[in-house]
A and B are shown apart, each in its own frame.
Chain A
Amino acid sequence: MTTTLATTTAAPPVPSSGHPETNTGISHTKLAFWAFLGSECLFFGAFITTYLLYRGRDQLLDKPPYPRDLFDIPFTSVTSFILLMSSLTMVLSLAAHQKGDLRQMRIWLFTTALFGLTFIGGQVYEFSHFVHEIQKINPDGGILSTNLFTSTFFILTGLHGAHVTVGIFWLLSLYARSLQGRLGPEKAEAVEIAGLYWHFVDVVWIFIFTAIYLVPQH
């Protein structure tokens, strides 16, 4: 006699959270992304610390240019403010997506990318201006190797700029997916994760801007 065991598995309940059922009740993607952001705190912390460690030491070596020779605080304040406000447009995009208003979501998403591009444009202008000034002061030297200030400044702000650039491509790819109809209300987590990344690069800049530009120079 052959015995057949019929295995009946009930269909899993449809989750209201928009992600598969997990033991913690939190999406694995979101959990992993928060862990990644925690590690990014250590990553940027290392470069901010290095900048603070060498800050003002160039004066001891008498090897210009010094930050006060290069910085244009009003200009950088405007670009920093634009990046800060891009966090508002990003969260408005997510709120619109969660409400199912895809048109509004696209408008805010594109505005966020545009603000990010403006910030990066400002950084490119600032870098090219600094390079020009450094070459005037030190025509024979390299740019990164001119002194401790230029090495730590360009690496820290450059790495942050690279993160912002990745964020812009991410946002534009979401925008393109939305135009193709591949970012429906069920994909809210995709927008949320991109938003977390964008807000993170914004909060990192809050500390970089304060540590590099606003803290009194020696």
Chain B
Amino acid sequence: MSEATTTEVMPAQGAVPAVAGPVVHEEHEHAGPRQYVMIAVVLAIVTALEIGVSYMEDSLSPNLIILLLGVMAAIKFFLVAAWFMHLRFDSPILRRLFLVGLIAAPILYLILLATLHVFDPSL
């Protein structure tokens, strides 16, 4: 599995440091092919479940189907972003940078949809 190592980055001699003192960040080893294949198997299973749930309109309420599909899409997204895109292993700065867009976008658009009465069942 992954092993955490701490790297201390010192400014090059003669260079003017932009920040006071050394910058410390963490680097982790990435997963191996075996873990990647296991993640892909989980993704395949979740995708099969998603498609199965979408055909259960007669036995499940539409709201429950939407909820289940949303949760499963989020699981798939998390697995790809964390493992395949290495967010789980890379520097936290990258994670935070991406999370800004990722959190800002749904909040912004959910407010927009609510403003336009998309969630109003009478419409």
Contact = CB atoms under 8 A, between A and B. Distances in A.
Interface in B81-118: 81, 83-85, 91, 93-94, 97-98, 100-102, 104-106, 108-109, 112-113, 116, 118
A45 B101 CA distance: 10
Interface residues of A, number: 54
Contacts of A73: 51, 54-55
A162 interface: no
A23 interface: yes
A9 B19 CA distance: 20
Contact of B30 (A21, A24, A98, A202): A98
A26 B104 contact: no
Contacts of B97: 31, 34-35, 38
B14 to A, nearest CB: 4
B47 A84 contact: yes
A38 B109 CA distance: 15
Nearest to A95: B33
A49 B94 contact: no
B91 to A, nearest CB: 5
A199 B85 contact: yes
A91 B36 contact: yes
Contact of A42 (B51, B55, B73, B105): B105
A45 B40 contact: no
Nearest to B66: A215
B4 interface: no
Given A12-B12, A23-B23, A206 B101 contact: no
A25 B101 CA distance: 22
B23 A214 contact: no
Given A34-B97, A210-B69, A216-B62, A53 B113 contact: yes
Contacts of B7: 25
A88 B93 contact: no
A92 to B, nearest CB: 6
Given A38-B100, A84-B43, A26 B94 contact: yes
24 contacts: A13-B12, A24-B91, A25-B9, A26-B93, A26-B94, A31-B93, A34-B97, A41-B105, A42-B101, A45-B105, A45-B109, A48-B109, A49-B113, A73-B54, A88-B37, A91-B83, A98-B30, A199-B81, A199-B85, A203-B81, A207-B73, A210-B69, A210-B70, A214-B51
Interface of B: 7, 9, 11-14, 17-19, 23, 25, 27, 30, 32-33, 36-37, 39-40, 43-44, 47, 50-51, 53-55, 57, 62, 65-66, 69-70, 72-73, 76-77, 80-81, 83-85, 91, 93-94, 97-98, 100-102, 104-106, 108-109, 112-113, 116, 118
